[in-house]
Structure 1
Amino acid sequence: MIQYEKVNGNFDLTGKAAIVVGGAGGIGEATAQMYARKGARVAIVDCKDNCPEVAAKIAEEFGVQVIGVKCDVTSQESVDAMMKAVLEAFGEINISLPCLDSWISTAHRISPLLLLRNICLSMRLECSGYARRLLIR
């Protein structure tokens, strides 16, 4: 049986690097702000044109490095270019969170698992057996 611990929110992400896909607005932007507030470097990744402006606003507010990268998550080439930009800026990625608008999933028929698969392919990550089974489906 898995033992879960209650998280009280008092944690530090200083030195960590996060990618928030869908981070240029809504829940994704709020999540990016939370990561920045906790000290993480954040990559705002979105299909919207306002990524750099959102990144600059969060960087100024929380005093951490934040970059904005426009990316079409339905294109492996675009995801690869995004990953290259993030790795050049941060050197590593510790946190990846897809906060896609529901219309993207419907209109482009992309699921959060497919997005995770695309990011893993770009990062050349080894997936655990469980994650691999989910991604193959």
Structure 2
Amino acid sequence: MSDLQGKVAIVTGGAAGIGRATARLFAQAGARVVVADRAEAAAQAVVAEIEQAGGEALFQRVDVSREEDCAAMVEAAVARFGRLDIAFNNAGIPGRVARTEDQGLAHWHRIIDVNLTGVFHCMVHELRAMKAHGGAIVNTASVAGVRGAPYSSAYAASKHGVIGLTRSAAREYGRYGIRINAICPGVVKTAMADELAAASLPGSSDALLAASILRRPGEPEEAAELVLWLCSDKASFVAGANYMVDGGLTA
């Protein structure tokens, strides 16, 4: 287990899926965790799980598309725990399954606002809190951030943007001892993946799994272990990278 003893971490989208699994792993490794999400009841349940296991956690309601929410999230972490060392910017929403011409401008803006601008809002305030002492940031992109995603052009554009933002900021903030990386999940067993599968063309999810090396969906904990490593001192020479956690889908 990576040692995060004494560290303070934020996890957006922490109420479920990869975010929940990561918040729990961070706490098990000794970090004090801010579980940030719009879904208060589910996020509070994660906080309760962490506290029942002997850890420290705080719920913060956040809509990452609102910069004021992201600023308040970082302020709450520092006010409660005294500093910020780690951030996992994981909150996101699935895109509409439709041809590009039918995606619609309102849908485009909503996807970009949450999946890309939301990461930007979080990073602005996280970076300011970390500049004095360094830290680690991991952003959730997707396999759709490194390849085309037919019928999901808005989603793919948002995730390509996350990788560009990650790489660019990493080059700026390495001098401050801040390492910034991204993960690119493939098909992982989450509610969001189920929602996408239900809206997709029949058989498309099975085709994705068949095209992967391991031919199975991932567990949220398998992605969380990668995030934990990237945020630990064991990844001290890793910066500006995007890591596939996709069962070999993009190999």
TM bin, normalised by shorter chain, reads: 0.7 to 0.9
Judge conservation of contact 1:56–1:67 (CA < 8 Å) in 2: no
Greater length-normalized contact order (CA 8 Å, ≥ 6 residues apart)? 1
Which residue number corresponds to residue 117 of structure 2?
Answer: 114
1:91 to 82, 93, 98: 82
The code of the aligned residue for 1:79 comes to: C
Which residue number corresponds to residue 14 of structure 1?
Answer: 5
Change in CA separation of 1:113 and 1:96 when aligned onto 2, cut-off 3 Å: farther
Which residue number corresponds to residue 131 of structure 1?
Answer: 169
What TM-score, normalized by structure 2, do the two folds share? 0.43
Task: Report the secondary structure of 2:36's partner residue.
Answer: strand
The code of the aligned residue for 2:27 comes to: A
Structure 2 counterparts to residues 1-137 of structure 1, below 5 A: 10-50=1-41, 51-61=43-53, 63-103=54-94, 107-110=110-113, 112-123=115-126, 124=128, 130-131=168-169
User: How many Å apart are 1:122 and its aligned residue?
Assistant: 2.4
Which residue number corresponds to residue 5 of structure 1?
Answer: none
CA distances 1:72-110 after superposition (whole Å, capped 9, x unpaired): 111111111222111111111111012224338964423
Distance in 1 (alpha carbons) for counterparts of 2:52 and 2:167? 41
Q: Identity over aligned residues, as a percent?
A: 32
User: How many Å apart are 1:43 and its aligned residue?
Assistant: 0.6
Q: Which stretch shifts more, 76-85 or 12-21?
A: 76-85
Aligned residues: 123
Q: Which residues of structure 1 form unaligned runs of 5+? A: 1-9
User: How many Å apart are 1:69 and its aligned residue?
Assistant: 0.7
State which structure, 1 or 2, has the greater radius of gyration over its C-alpha atoms.
2
Distance in 2 (alpha carbons) for counterparts of 1:66 and 1:27? 17
What TM-score, normalized by structure 1, do the two folds share? 0.75
Distance in 1 (alpha carbons) for counterparts of 2:30 and 2:59? 17
Which residue number corresponds to residue 201 of structure 2?
Answer: none
Which residue number corresponds to residue 4 of structure 1?
Answer: none
Judge conservation of contact 1:100–1:112 (CA < 8 Å) in 2: yes
Judge conservation of contact 1:52–1:69 (CA < 8 Å) in 2: no
Change in CA separation of 1:24 and 1:129 when aligned onto 2, cut-off 3 Å: closer
Judge conservation of contact 1:53–1:68 (CA < 8 Å) in 2: no
